[in-house]
Amino acid sequence: MAMLSDDGRPIFQQVAEKMEDDIIEGRLPEQSQVPSTNQFAAFYRINPATAAKGVNLLVDQGILYKKRGIGMFVAEGARAAVLEKRKQQFYEQYVVAMVREAAKLGITTKQLVEMIMEGDA
């Protein structure tokens, strides 16, 4: 887990995304316990309330759940849910932007597809 980036995106969102990354890459398996908000705050040097906000975001989305008195855990099916969400975001973040940039540079859709195939090789 690298430090948080300085790009101005809300910190609590970055915290949530880092946890999602860990879920996708298997560092946080389903049903495993997630570090406490205080641990997050200490690690990233941020306000505990902000860390809590990021965690609560994932709780609201059903990716994490709270076991009273114990802590936060990764929900069943969380990985699939996160992948689905990210695929959606992927389209908006990368594909739309790519198409727009390609249009700006005068690259046709056909050329774009060829480039993708080449990149994938």
Partner 1 sequence: MLDYTLKCHQIYKKLGDTQAIHDAAVEFEPNAIHGLLGPSGAGKTTLLHLISGQLIPDQGAVTAGGHPVHENPGIVSRICFAKAIEQAWSEYRVQDIMKFCSLLHPDWDAGFAAEMLDRFRVPLKPKYKHLSQGSQSLLSIIKGLASRSPITLLDEPTLGLDAEKREAFYELLLSDYSEHPRTIILSTHLIDESADLFQYITLMQQGTIAAHCETDELAGQARYLQGSTEQLAPFLGDARILHQESLGSVTRLAWLGSIDHETYFREQGIEITPIPLQKLFVYLTRQEQQISEVLANENIS
What minimum distance in Å lies between the beta carbon of 7 and partner 1?
7
Task: Name the pairing type of β-strands 64-67 and 71-74.
Answer: antiparallel
Return the residues of window 87-106 that contact partner 1 according to CB under 8 A.
Answer: none
Where does this chain touch partner 1 (CB under 8 A) — which range of 21-29, 45-53, 65-73, 78-86?
Answer: 45-53
> DSSP assignment, residue 28?
S
# residues contacting partner 1 (CB under 8 A): 19
**Helix intervals (H) in 25-108:** 37-44, 48-60, 78-90, 96-105
Task: Give the nearer residue to partner 1 in terms of CB position, either 38 or 111.
Answer: 38
Task: Lay out the site mask for partner 1 across 8-37 (x = CB under 8 A, - = otherwise).
Answer: xxxxx-------------------------
Residue from 21, 30, 53, 61 that binds partner 1 (CB under 8 A)?
53
> b or e along 6-42 (b: 16 or more beta carbons within 10 Å of the residue's beta carbon)?
eeeeebbebbbbbbbebbeeeebeeeeebbebeebbe
> Toward partner 1, which CB reaches closer, 49 or 116?
49
Sequence-distant (≥ 6) Cβ neighbours of residue 70 within 8 angstroms? 33
Contacting positions for partner 1 (CB under 8 A) = 4, 6-12, 38, 41-42, 44-50, 53
